[in-house]
Amino acid sequence: DTGVSQNPRHKITKRGQNVTFRCDPISEHNRLYWYRQTLGQGPEFLTYFQNEAQLEKSRLLSDRFSAERPKGSFSTLEIQRTEQGDSAMYLCASSLAGEQYFGPGTRLTVT
């Protein structure tokens, strides 16, 4: 399977805990994006990497959120001190230039 993969698919955590998600993009894609989707809404942009460089961060990405893409391959998104409002589907996408191809997402539930 050469699509975008994300792990874990589901994460339940207690408020205040830290969580980390992983995204493995399509291998030849140099661009990687993180989005967040809540119920009844479309995906909202969080951050963008071109190779290993993080080139843009949305104002939605508070200082509790950090993302990395070491060596320009897989990426991680960490949320520190989770809050109930962080409950959402976290989507990763990759592209070469045009269409972005999405992974299956990580569903985060903060209790």
List 86, 94, 100, 110, residue binding other proteins (CB under 8 A): 100
Residues 3-22 that bind other proteins (CB under 8 A): 4, 6
- Cβ(67)–Cβ(19) under 8 Å? no
Contact flag: residue 39 with other proteins (CB under 8 A): no
Min CB(16)–other proteins separation in Å: 27
| Size of the residue set binding other proteins (CB under 8 A) | 27
* Residue 102: Cβ-neighbour burial (10 angstroms; 0-12, 13-18, 19+): middle
